[in-house]
Amino acid sequence: MWPRLAPVNSALHIMCRGNNKQEILQIGRDKLQYYSLLEKYREENKISIFHYCIMDNHVHLIVWLTESSTISKFMKQVNLSYSVYYNNIYNYCGHLWQGRFKSKIIADDPYLLQCGKYIELNPVRKGLVRSPEEYLFSSYNHYANNKSDPLITDSPVYLSMSESKQARNRAYRKFIVRENMENASPPAEAFSGGRNVLPGEKRSPLWAGK
């Protein structure tokens, strides 16, 4: 199968799901294994990860790609390595993942923020926790509570919130809880193809030259 064409100097929202929506990341040990694989292969493939959330049956990532990035190779290495782990631990046979990963170009700052909010509130919407800081397998606590996370490259949009780290943490927490949980809906046209550009919105240097 040919590798898919990947955009350059762009952010992508990536999602991959267990086959037939199986809970293939069932317990903390499984999620930590997947996390470790993301960390292991991201540098080799020149992938920057802005946001992530590892759920029981699917994974969300927001990544930044440059000319040197190899996103298809990265996802293949991570998911194939996780399949080997899962098959050995659970004596599983058959397809573990539901096809290849899905991806959606993130066109601008507001959409990047909304995507990050959407994936970090996933555990709350699913009833796994009451608040996002209670969930251990997402990027939320890095941005909201200044928790060190070696997987994360700080989003330039987050860095632009304030020069003060504490002020950025407060601003991010306020942004996440500003709306009711039911209003944290999926970004428009998620995974439907095309680009979402909000009319009148100003792009940051993240998208300079595009």
Whether 84 maps to a domain, the answer reads yes
Whether 2 maps to a domain, the answer reads no
CA 153, CA 63: separation in Å to the nearest integer? 9
Whether 50 maps to a domain, the answer reads yes
pLDDT at 202: 38
The dihedral region occupied by 183, where left means phi > 0, alpha psi between -120 and 50, and beta the remainder, is alpha
pLDDT at 197: 31
Whether 61 maps to a domain, the answer reads yes
Whether 5 maps to a domain, the answer reads no
Q: Which domain holds residue 93?
A: 10-186
Whether 204 maps to a domain, the answer reads no
User: What is the tens place of the pLDDT at every residue in 153-191?
Assistant: 999 999 999 999 999 999 999 998 875 444 555 554 444
User: What is the tens place of the pLDDT at every residue in 59-77?
Assistant: 999 999 999 999 999 999 9
Domain count, the chain: 1
pLDDT at 110: 87
Task: Give me the chain's average pLDDT, please.
Answer: 85
User: Residue 144 is part of a domain; what is its CATH number?
Assistant: 3.30.70.1290
pLDDT at 208: 44
